[in-house]
């Protein structure tokens, strides 16, 4: 009964129009004195035809309602099986449903891809962090290593673990719906020197020199997040530089641009366009066999959130030059 009342409500305009037409059809001939049986017969035929069409319309309405009711169970997984549209309006509604369904599928696919990338990253991270832990266990069990050398090696492996842990924490924070960015006027010299001091033991162990020029620059940024980026960049420079130096200075040709330049093995030309992609390790990463392809991706994402810009130029065998442009910011200190 409820469904029938809904059908009546939907067809009320047609019903009213028919009743008005029937009234005109009956009244006008009656005013001209035509026989009532002729008028009644015509009215009865008209009403019978209307009832037939009304019944057919209700049956189609009932079938369509049943089709849509059953479709409620599967509409979340597939769009096939919707009843054929009977009007341009119904066709428009189905197009809207199709667009929403397509957008939903794209979001699901995106989330599934992100989830799979997260699983892949943590699997790789868990594998990598086992390496320095195993190295520390071996050193603790060995008798041939002197106490001083053992201490330095243990410190180096512990430093790697700290870096891996910090990377995974920043990865989680970066994908969190809420972040803890705090923009302030920061002394760039103070931030960079703090990062360099942190890596001082590695410079000494690898016998690499640090050429540092005073930066004399104040930037609006988040000190903690920028420090993480600089640590990643300096770590990469140290990893792929076997001899020579690392040079940190402000670009004399471009205002407010920090340069981190090394004399390492460089990056292949074909790898440069993809170095900021998540999971892309390139030729050097494949040779290293321990690269995650996540460090530069995080750097790019974080610097973008800080409204800074990063560019990298390199040539195989001639080192790499990283430039961070601090003139891109569009924020104010808190």
Please count the structural domains in the chain: 2
Q: What is the mean pLDDT of residues 93-99?
A: 75
More confident residue, 78 or 301: 301
Q: Looking at the structure, tell me whether residues 184 and 333 fall in a common domain.
A: yes
Q: Are 284 and 264 in contact (CB under 8 A)?
A: no
The parent domain of residue 22 ranges over 2-83
Residue range 55-69, pLDDT digits in tens: 877 777 777 777 767
Q: Looking at the structure, tell me whether residues 333 and 194 fall in a common domain.
A: yes
In a domain, 233, yes or no: yes
Q: Looking at the structure, tell me whether residues 205 and 65 fall in a common domain.
A: no
User: What is residue 309's predicted lDDT score, i.e. its pLDDT?
Assistant: 92
User: What is residue 189's predicted lDDT score, i.e. its pLDDT?
Assistant: 93
pLDDT band at 295 (very low <50, low <70, confident <90, very high): confident
In a domain, 289, yes or no: yes
Q: Looking at the structure, tell me whether residues 334 and 188 fall in a common domain.
A: yes
Q: What is the mean pLDDT of residues 300-304?
A: 89
Q: Looking at the structure, tell me whether residues 192 and 69 fall in a common domain.
A: no
More confident residue, 140 or 188: 188
Task: Show which of 83, 118, 142 is a domain's final residue.
Answer: 83
Average pLDDT in the chain: 77
User: What is residue 137's predicted lDDT score, i.e. its pLDDT?
Assistant: 64
Task: Show which of 38, 65, 83 is a domain's final residue.
Answer: 83
Q: Looking at the structure, tell me whether residues 56 and 189 fall in a common domain.
A: no
Q: Looking at the structure, tell me whether residues 195 and 75 fall in a common domain.
A: no
Q: Looking at the structure, tell me whether residues 41 and 189 fall in a common domain.
A: no
The enclosing domain of 221 has a CATH number of 3.30.565.10
Q: Looking at the structure, tell me whether residues 183 and 312 fall in a common domain.
A: yes
Tokens of 64: 């369509």
What is the spatial order of strands in the sheet that 209-212 belongs to? 209-212, 245-250, 257-262, 319-325, 309-315
Q: Looking at the structure, tell me whether residues 191 and 67 fall in a common domain.
A: no
User: What is residue 21's predicted lDDT score, i.e. its pLDDT?
Assistant: 77
Q: Which residues, including other chains, have CB under 8 Å from residue 333's CB and lie 6 or more apart?
A: 183, 184, 185, 220
In a domain, 246, yes or no: yes
pLDDT band at 130 (very low <50, low <70, confident <90, very high): low
Q: What is the mean pLDDT of residues 17-36?
A: 73
**CB atoms < 10 A from the CB of 333, how many?**
11
Task: Show which of 67, 83, 99 is a domain's final residue.
Answer: 83
Q: Looking at the structure, tell me whether residues 192 and 319 fall in a common domain.
A: yes
In a domain, 77, yes or no: yes
Of the chain, the percentage scoring pLDDT greater than 90 comes to 16
Residue range 197-243, pLDDT digits in tens: 888 888 888 889 999 999 999 999 989 889 989 988 998 898 888 88
Long-range CB contacts for residues 265-272, cutoff 8 Å, separation at least 24: 265/240, 265/241, 265/316, 265/317, 266/240, 266/314, 266/315, 266/316, 266/317, 266/318, 266/319, 266/320, 267/312, 267/314, 267/316, 267/320, 268/316, 269/315, 269/316, 272/312, 272/313, 272/314
pLDDT band at 287 (very low <50, low <70, confident <90, very high): low
| pLDDT of residue 307 exceeding 80 | yes
Distance CA 36, CA 44 (A): 12
Q: Are 314 and 266 in contact (CB under 8 A)?
A: yes
| pLDDT of residue 106 exceeding 80 | yes
Going by DSSP bridges, is the β-strand pair 257-262/245-250 parallel, antiparallel, or unpaired? Answer: antiparallel
* pTM attached to this predicted model: 0.56
In a domain, 139, yes or no: no
**Which of 197, 329, 192, 306 minimizes the C-alpha distance to 256?**
329
Of the chain, the percentage scoring pLDDT greater than 70 comes to 69
Q: Looking at the structure, tell me whether residues 75 and 194 fall in a common domain.
A: no
């Amino acid at each position: 009964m409820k469904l029938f009342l809904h059908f009546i409500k939907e067809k009320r305009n047609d019903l009213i129009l028919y009743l008005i037409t029937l009234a005109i059809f009956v009244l006008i001939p009656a005013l001209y004195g035509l026989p009532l049986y002729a008028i009644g017969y015509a009215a009865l035929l008209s009403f019978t035809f209307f009832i037939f069409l009304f019944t057919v319309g209700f049956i189609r309405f009932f079938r369509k309602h049943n089709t849509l009711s059953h479709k409620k169970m599967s509409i979340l997984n597939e769009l096939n099986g919707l009843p054929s549209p009977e009007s341009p309006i119904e066709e428009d509604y189905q197009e809207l449903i199709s667009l929403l369904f397509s957008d939903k599928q794209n979001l699901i696919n995106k989330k599934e891809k992100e989830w799979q990338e997260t699983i892949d990253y943590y699997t790789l991270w868990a594998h990598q962090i086992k390496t320095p832990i195993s190295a520390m266990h071996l050193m603790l069990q060995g008798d041939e290593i002197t106490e001083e050398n053992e201490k330095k090696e243990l410190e180096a492996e512990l430093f790697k673990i700290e870096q891996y842990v910090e990377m995974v924490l920043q990865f989680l924070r970066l994908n969190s719906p809420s972040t803890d960015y705090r923009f302030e006027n920061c002394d760039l010299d103070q931030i960079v020197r703090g990062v360099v001091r942190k890596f001082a033991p590695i410079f000494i162990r690898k016998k690499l020199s640090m050429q540092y020029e005073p930066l004399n620059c104040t930037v609006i940024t988040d000190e903690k997040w920028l420090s993480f980026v600089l640590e990643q960049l300096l770590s990469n420079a140290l990893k792929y530089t076997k001899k020579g130096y690392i040079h940190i200075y402000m670009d004399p040709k471009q205002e407010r641009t920090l340069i981190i330049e090394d004399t390492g093995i460089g990056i292949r030309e074909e790898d440069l366009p993809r170095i900021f992609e998540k999971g892309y390790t390139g030729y050097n990463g494949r040779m290293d066999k321990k690269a995650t392809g996540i460090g530069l991706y995080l750097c790019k994402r974080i610097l973008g959130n800080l409204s800074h810009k990063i560019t990298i130029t390199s040539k195989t065998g001639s080192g790499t030059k990283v430039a961070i442009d601090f003139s891109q910011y569009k924020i104010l200190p808190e």
